[in-house]
Amino acid sequence: MTPAETAAYLDQILAPLHQRYRAVNDGDVATYIPELAKANPDHFGICLTTLDGTCHAFGDCDQEFTIQSISKPLVYGIALAALGREGVHKKVGVEPTGDAFNAIILDEKTRRPFNPMVNAGAIATAALVPGKTLAERKESVLATFSAAAGRRLSVDQKVYESELETGHRNRAIAHLMLNFGMIEGDVTEILDLYFMQCSILVNCRDLAMIGATLANVGTNPVTHEHVFDTAAVQDVLSVMFTCGMYDYAGEWAVRVGIPAKSGVAGGILAVINRQFGIGTYSPRLDAQGNSLRGIKACADLADELGLHAFNFMNSGSQFMKSVL
């Protein structure tokens, strides 16, 4: 396929895919963070960005929402770049749990949180972000996310304040880890950073570009800025694959088979290594806290393009055959 043919082919796949699921009205918006309850349940966008920087966008792709748990693999990447795999893994493991993302539970043997995609693990990795002051660490996180997205991002102050006011369960998790030595330092500052990272505003285009940056071994395909440590990207994508979709991660691995991370504001970030990034947004969530429309769209896209990591035949995919 020529680049023009590839672009046309992807548009022909994505346009009807968006139409197929835009009227799905199952699920509910998140309410445990009061500001998230204000989201419009009808919003639905899907965006795919290839490694030449071409963006294919359909629906509400410019609608901003907070990144929430999609921040977790990105901060994990920051921690890995700073401390290396062994340094990070002293504080957080890489095993799936099958438990809810906000479960107050640690590994009984090691006392570590199970993985960086659940709240406990994400708080532990936030504690590892380097910087002399809280302000410096916050700017480091925001600057990294912005570089991956290819534009300067900002924090939703109302969501951030709402998280601060209602995040008592996360405080309990943090103090439990402090008790077992899995985090060190000022718990209030660590949680402040964690709440801030979850409150960063993105849209579908940003998620797709962040995905393309990860797919491009850590380098933004448009700005050519090297954002994530190359060695860290492998670990980030691996943990996204096994743990990224809350307690639906196993089902996702079987049905969709690509690295991904969801957030309770309704976003999903997915990565096709060395090929493209996908971003979807719809705030209607299933019982596990994943975007219902986003899951359906990603599952169909994986089928139609032959994206599953173990779809060795890449059946039915002109696009995949053209790039292999």
Task: Give the model's pLDDT for residue 324.
Answer: 40
- CATH code given to domain 3-68+201-323: 3.40.710.10
pTM attached to this predicted model:
0.95
Catalytically active residues are: 69, 72, 194, 246, 264
Name the architecture of domain 70-198.
Answer: 3-Layer(aba) Sandwich (3.40)
Same fold, 3-68+201-323 and 70-198: yes
Rounded (to 5) percent helix, strand, coil in the chain = 50, 10, 40
Domain extents in the chain:
3-68+201-323, 70-198
Q: Which residues of 162-180 are buried (b: 16+ CB within 10 A; e: fewer)?
A: bbeeebeebeebbebbbee
Answer yes or no: is pLDDT of 318 > 70: no
Q: Given pLDDT bands bounded at 50, 70 and 90, which one contains residue 33?
A: confident
H or E, element range at 57: strand 55-59
Which of 208-217, 265-274, 303-312 comes out lowest in average pLDDT? 303-312
Residue 322 has pLDDT above 60, yes or no: no
